[in-house]
Every structure is written in structure tokens, then in C-alpha cells.
């Protein structure tokens, strides 16, 4: 059981998902490729933490929805009280930003403008997601006992981060003039 396994379980508490969906949803705290997710889902199924449901679809390939079992939920619960590993962030852009004086103005500005565009796009999706939650739950979003609470605070954290990244890029770009 590694962190990714718990990440998958935590997503499946909310609702049954396919591996494809999970790969997208995992973006928020543990990026992983489908080639890592599918084998791990099979392993978690084998260990009794998940049960698959085959969904036949028209106009699309069939899919497997994984449901979390009681054992899966218990396993996750137990893990939650242990102190988490330190966060890891690896960012090539920051290496380049660190060495900015080695490049010319144009390269520098492009680097930051691309970064800003990337986070502006992310922020827009994030805001749509949060608006959807607000429309669905209203004030109940702040009810810490509801399952949506955790999802709400995590996406809010990401929204703050994305907003701040854009502001920081603006600050740097203004200095580059």
C-alpha cells in the first residue's frame, strides 16, 4: 500500500469511478499515469479493497467502475491518523526561473507568459468545479461532517495556489520590462 493506493481509495469513497476518471481526478494531489493506475486498481481489487462493476456503453468503449469495499474504507481510515509524508514538488520551470539571468529578455518573458497561461487555464477549470460544488451544496459545503467538505477545502487550496502563481508571474513580467 503506497500513497497512490490511498489516493485512489480516497477518490472512490466519494463515488465509484473508472481508472480513466481516476487519472483525471488525481490531478489535485497525486499525478499519475494510467499505466500506473490500472495495475494498482487490479491489485487493490485482488486484496479486497475494491470491487469492479462492468458498465457496457454505447458510442463509447465499455468501462469498469470500481467501488470501495468496507475493508477498503477501514484501511483508508486507519491510514488517515498517521502523520503524512512530506510533500514533494518538482518543477522544471523554477529551475529555469532560477537561471533567468543566463537568458535573453525574450526567452525570459516567453517562459513566464506560458507559465501564466498554463495556470490561468487551470484556475478557470478549478473555479468552474468550485462553482458547481457551491451550486450543489450551498452552505452545506462548510459542514465538516459531510464528505464534500474535504473535497471543497482541497480544491480551494489549489485555487488559491493557482491565483497566487498568476500574480507572481505578473510581478516578474512587470520587472522584465
Interacting residues toward a second copy by CB under 8 A:
3, 6-7, 10-11, 13, 28-31, 73, 76-77, 79-81, 83-103, 107-108, 111, 114, 118, 142, 144-147, 149-151, 153-154, 156-157, 160-161, 164-165, 168, 172, 175-176
36 binds DNA (CB under 7 A): yes
In the list DNA, a second copy, none, the entry touching 138 (Cβ below 5 to 8 angstroms by class) is none
In the list DNA, a second copy, none, the entry touching 135 (Cβ below 5 to 8 angstroms by class) is none
| Strand 50-55 relative to strand 63-68, pairing | antiparallel
Nearer to DNA, 92 or 139 (CB): 92
Q: Which residues pair with 132 in a beta bridge?
A: none
Nearer to DNA, 62 or 167 (CB): 62
Please give the sequence-ordered ranges of beta strands (E in DSSP) within 98-171, or none if there are none. none
Report residue 23 as a C-alpha cell.
Answer: 487519472
In the list DNA, a second copy, none, the entry touching 18 (Cβ below 5 to 8 angstroms by class) is DNA
Burial class of residue 28 in the structure, from the number of CB atoms within 10 Å of its CB (0-12 exposed, 13-18 middle, 19+ buried): middle
Alpha-carbon span 105 to 176, nearest angstrom = 7
Alpha-carbon span 75 to 69, nearest angstrom = 10
82 binds DNA (CB under 7 A): no
124 binds DNA (CB under 7 A): no
Nearer to a second copy, 55 or 146 (CB): 146
Contact 9, 76 (CB under 8 A): yes
In the list a second copy, DNA, none, the entry touching 63 (Cβ below 5 to 8 angstroms by class) is DNA
Q: Pick the binder of DNA from 88, 95, 135, 175 (CB under 7 A).
A: 88
- Measured in degrees and rounded to the nearest 5, phi and psi for residue 53 equal -130, 120
Which residue from 33, 132, 29 is spatially nearest to 87, judged by alpha carbons? 29
Give the x-and-dash track for 40-79 against DNA (CB under 7 A): -xx--------------x-xxxxxx---------------
SS3 label, residue 102: helix
Amino acid at each position: 500500500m503506497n500513497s497512490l493506493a490511498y489516493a485512489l481509495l480516497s477518490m472512490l469513497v466519494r463515488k465509484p469511478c473508472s481508472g480513466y476518471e481516476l487519472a483525471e481526478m488525481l490531478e489535485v494531489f497525486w499525478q499519475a499515469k494510467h499505466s500506473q493506475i490500472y495495475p494498482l486498481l487490479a491489485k487493490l481489487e485482488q486484496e479486497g479493497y475494491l470491487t469492479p462493476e462492468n458498465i457496457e456503453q454505447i458510442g463509447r468503449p465499455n468501462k469498469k467502475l470500481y467501488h470501495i469495499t468496507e475493508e477498503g474504507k477501514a484501511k483508508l481510515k486507519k491510514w488517515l491518523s498517521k502523520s503524512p509524508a512530506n510533500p514533494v514538488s518538482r518543477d522544471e520551470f523554477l529551475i529555469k526561473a532560477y537561471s533567468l539571468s543566463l537568458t535573453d529578455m525574450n526567452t525570459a518573458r516567453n517562459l513566464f507568459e506560458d507559465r501564466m497561461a498554463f495556470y490561468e487555464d487551470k484556475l478557470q477549470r478549478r473555479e468552474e468545479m468550485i462553482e458547481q460544488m457551491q451550486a450543489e451544496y450551498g452552505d452545506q459545503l462548510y459542514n465538516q461532517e459531510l464528505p464534500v467538505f474535504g473535497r471543497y477545502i482541497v480544491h480551494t487550496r489549489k485555487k488559491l495556489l493557482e491565483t497566487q502563481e498568476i500574480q507572481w508571474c505578473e510581478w516578474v513580467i512587470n520587472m522584465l520590462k
